[in-house]
Structure 1
Amino acid sequence: MIKHRVFFQFCLLALYLFPNPAASQETLQPEASVIQKHIAFLAADRMKGRGTGSRGLKKAARYIERQFRSYGLPPAGTRKYRQPFLARVTKVKVKDSIRNASNIIGFLDNGAPYTIVIGAHYDHLGKGHQGSSRHPSPEGLIHNGADDNASGVAGLLELARYFSGNEVTEPYNFLFIAFSAEELGLLGSKHFTAHPTLPLENIHFMLNMDMIGRYNPDRGLGIGGYGTSDKWPEIFEGLTSGIRFFTDNAGSGGSDHGSFYAKNIPVLFFHTGGHPDYHMPSDDPEKIEAEAEAGIISLGIQIIENAMKLDKLPFTEAE
């Protein structure tokens, strides 16, 4: 009996000193339940639609900061995790044309010369007063933005959790950015690329996730930016996934990757497509396909890991 107890204690000590890497990686894989938790918080009615400059968006910012902190990511903004800026609204007509906003930025420093940027915007349309709503009478209606873009933020956080916790020193650093004021004209990403917290010439590529929560297998996941580097076809070779996807060459477009493409940085853009709830008060958390989103994020991990096998990607102007 004593021998058995000693052997058991030895096994526990061995597990502590020599953890199973495969088991560790398994626990880090994207999880539908974690995705649902993030989206349920960010797209709850109490967040009032996360309009730029609103209390709800400030709550969302604090939530993202807490997640970054829990993953051990040091802040990389100009004020700890935050990169404050004035959102001067020009895209849509609103009463208050200047609003306080902040990008939220965490850094995974692997001591590498180049960095991969992962981004998603965390703002939405608020209570229908800032324009862009497709509802005929949007004023006063909470636009929760579960797909647009709490789903993308959940993807950002899951990638941050994976790469910060996988006990591997990758050959590239990671900069995780939650952009503000995207709905007002890509203002957060434009501010970052105009005032970067690391040199733009040191960016390997930028991956943007905007609306990845409503996967339809008949359509598949759209991956834009395929034409922004001649190395993407090589990186995409041999991908294995239950997620159907198709590629598009364009590097510009109506989301934050366009700001990086304009600076001659290779980009990718994940998007599951439009739907009747787009920019409507009905874009609610219960409509998210969390299991499919976990598969999309896993596909993103494969692409990122393939890209890390290559030198810094050359930029190509997309046709």
Structure 2
Amino acid sequence: MQIPPLWRRLGVAVAISGALAGCDRDAASQPPESATSEATAVADETSGSAGQGQLQVMADELHRHVKILASDKFQGRAPATEGEELTVTYLAEQFEALGLEPGAVDANGEPSWFQQVPVVEMQIDSTPLAIEGEGFSKSLQPLTDMVAFTQRQTDSAGLDNSELVFVGYGIVAPENDWNDYAGLDMTGKTAVILVNDPGYATQDKALFNGNAMTYYGRWSYKFEEAARQGAAGAIIIHETGAAGYPWEVVSGSWSGAQISLAADDKNSDRVAVEAWMTGDAASEVFAAAGLDLSKEMEAAKTRDFKARPLGLTASVQLKNQLRTSDSRNVIARLPGSKYPDEAVIYTAHWDHLGVNQHSDGEDHIFNGAVDNATGTAGLIAMARQASELEQRPERSLLFVAVTAEESGLLGSKYYAANPVVPLEKTVAGINFDALGVLGPMRDVVVVGYGNSELEQLLETAAKGQDRYLAPEEHPERGYFYRSDHFSLAKKGVPMLYFKAGTDSFEHGREWAQAQGQEYLSHAYHKPADEYDPDWNLEGTAMDLQLGLELGLQLANSRDWPNWYEGNEFRAIRDESSDSRQ
């Protein structure tokens, strides 16, 4: 198969301005005139023809790094384990060998590759979840029927005969005229909650964001909102379609050691117990309450839904073994030649799920080859190409491998609160997570399509690879809220998260979609996510070089891209606009 040339000259400014004007966010609206025309017009040495040889060189390098990072020796790269020590040491050695500078400082103010991230590891032992009511008693078994855990950094937590209240989607969204907790006093009670949001459930484009999940649909929001409502506990009902993953992902992710950022208040403001239960278990619980779960789910789709006490109680006890330690973000810096205090940031999480003795089968190591040894290896490969440029970019480039993404974006959350370059001086960022391993794809999928002006630059660069931009195929799965770009986006930094799609140059769309579903069903967050030497990583290299090209364009310009008007993060970014004059 002949791969299209990676780089083509981007052309004169007139041609570029036409391309930018023609980039639609959706069929109904045009994006505003771009603030990034200067960046697009910048020509640097990476814009020349690279050819398939350079592509193969990067693919070979990716193979080497992924094979090491996803090996059993690295024990699944869990934070605060020997696997972390091996991983962060490896990354620092690679960045140092490339001649980059440490991007962080240690406790003594000396340059360091490591940003210390204080975390608490909790080994949580759960009793069965006892559901009691008049004439009904049921023990839901850990892992099989439910998983229960806590964010409270204490020796124990639990529920004792806590009243169960079905709160529908558990959403309070004034802008959507939606309040599932209206009129409720949840003190001491446990919320039973549906996953995703009413837009997905109804497929009504006018409701929330239609099929595309909003943050209100994420499990993290639902637990947070239950806490704000004063609940003692929260139980999410799992549905594979609505959640975007099967039950095995839930049981694998929320069993074994759990990591959270160390908190002065020990997370006392969180509910005592956060839990999931299977759809089958929920159906039985609702039947015991004299209700039909499917009918209650239907009622929860509407604004006139009223929460319903189930007439049942829940009890569960959690015992925690606590260990406080520092995990680490690894930060490497290529200083800018002219504006070193401004930076373009590349992020990828280095962590995965480690070793879980509770997992099914004989293999208990969650190697995380695709998720996210690929993105971590990508940071090294991009850093190598950037370090080899004849002339350094005018702005700095930051390569940030963050910890504890799998535990709730903790490393990126910590970085966003403690940036090494002020966020108002962070030009933009690109995140790489679970990159494609199936070879080159024609479509470049933007996760959270239609959010920022960065997409216009990406579209122009993609055309240079004979590729095109596309929205994600499954926006209902909420991927925009499930990776590290979101932590910085919430702080206003324009962030881009893209990856290869399913329009395979060689095999076509149907084949690639089937392969993707196979990974999701059998390998995602499971021990089967192992390195395969037969992977075609040329497509991975194409995606990384798109990201590198885009970042260098911005680094060699005076442009400050922004979120589109109307985006939820635009106002946050605009608050710091005076610092970028």
Cα deviation 1:141-198 (Å, max 9, x = unaligned): 0111110000001111111111121122223211110001111110000000111112
For 1:142 and 1:185, the matched residues in 2 are separated by 20
* Higher Rg of the two aligned structures: 2
Equivalent in 303, 309, 312 of residue 560 of structure 2? 312
Cα shift at 1:285: 1.1
Cα deviation 1:62-113 (Å, max 9, x = unaligned): 1100111011111012321001112246474635555531000011111314
Distance change (3 Å), C-alpha of 1:87 and 1:242 = farther
Aligned to 2:114: 82
Aligned to 2:527: 281
Out of 181-190 and 281-290, give the one that drifted further. 281-290
2:349 aligned with 1:121: yes
Aligned to 1:13: none
Amino acid at match of 1:294: A
Distance change (3 Å), C-alpha of 1:123 and 1:234 = closer
Aligned to 2:71: 44
Contact 1:243 1:295 in 2 (8 A): no
For 2:321 and 2:499, the matched residues in 1 are separated by 30
Contact 1:128 1:141 in 2 (8 A): yes
Aligned to 1:16: none
Equivalent in 496, 507, 510 of residue 268 of structure 1? 496
Aligned to 2:413: 190
For 2:439 and 2:364, the matched residues in 1 are separated by 27
Aligned to 1:9: none
Aligned to 2:446: 223
Cα shift at 1:32: 1.1
Aligned to 1:240: 464
In the alignment of these two chains, the number of paired residues is 293
2:373 aligned with 1:150: yes
2:484 aligned with 1:256: yes
Question: Which of the two has greater strand per residue?
Answer: 2
Equivalent in 518, 533, 537 of residue 290 of structure 1? 537
For 2:446 and 2:321, the matched residues in 1 are separated by 35
Cα deviation 1:40-82 (Å, max 9, x = unaligned): 1100111111111111121011110011101111101232100
2:541 aligned with 1:302: no
Amino acid at match of 1:194: A
Aligned to 1:104: 330
Distance change (3 Å), C-alpha of 1:184 and 1:138 = farther
Cα shift at 1:310: 5.7
SS in 1 for 2:76: coil
Please, what is the CA RMSD of the aligned residues? 3.1
Distance change (3 Å), C-alpha of 1:32 and 1:235 = closer
2:79 aligned with 1:55: no
Cα shift at 1:138: 6.9
For 1:246 and 1:49, the matched residues in 2 are separated by 32
What TM-score do the two structures reach when normalised by structure 1? 0.81
Amino acid at match of 1:160: A
Distance change (3 Å), C-alpha of 1:35 and 1:255 = same
Equivalent in 55, 61, 81 of residue 34 of structure 1? 61
What TM-score do the two structures reach when normalised by structure 2? 0.46
Out of 93-102 and 160-169, give the one that drifted further. 93-102
Cα deviation 1:207-228 (Å, max 9, x = unaligned): 0000003347679442225433
Cα shift at 1:139: 8.9
SS in 1 for 2:391: coil
For 1:235 and 1:258, the matched residues in 2 are separated by 19
For 1:184 and 1:139, the matched residues in 2 are separated by 24
Give 4+ residue runs of structure 1 displaced > 3 Å after superposition.
Answer: 24-30, 88-99, 215-221, 225-228, 242-245, 247-252, 271-274, 305-310, 315-319
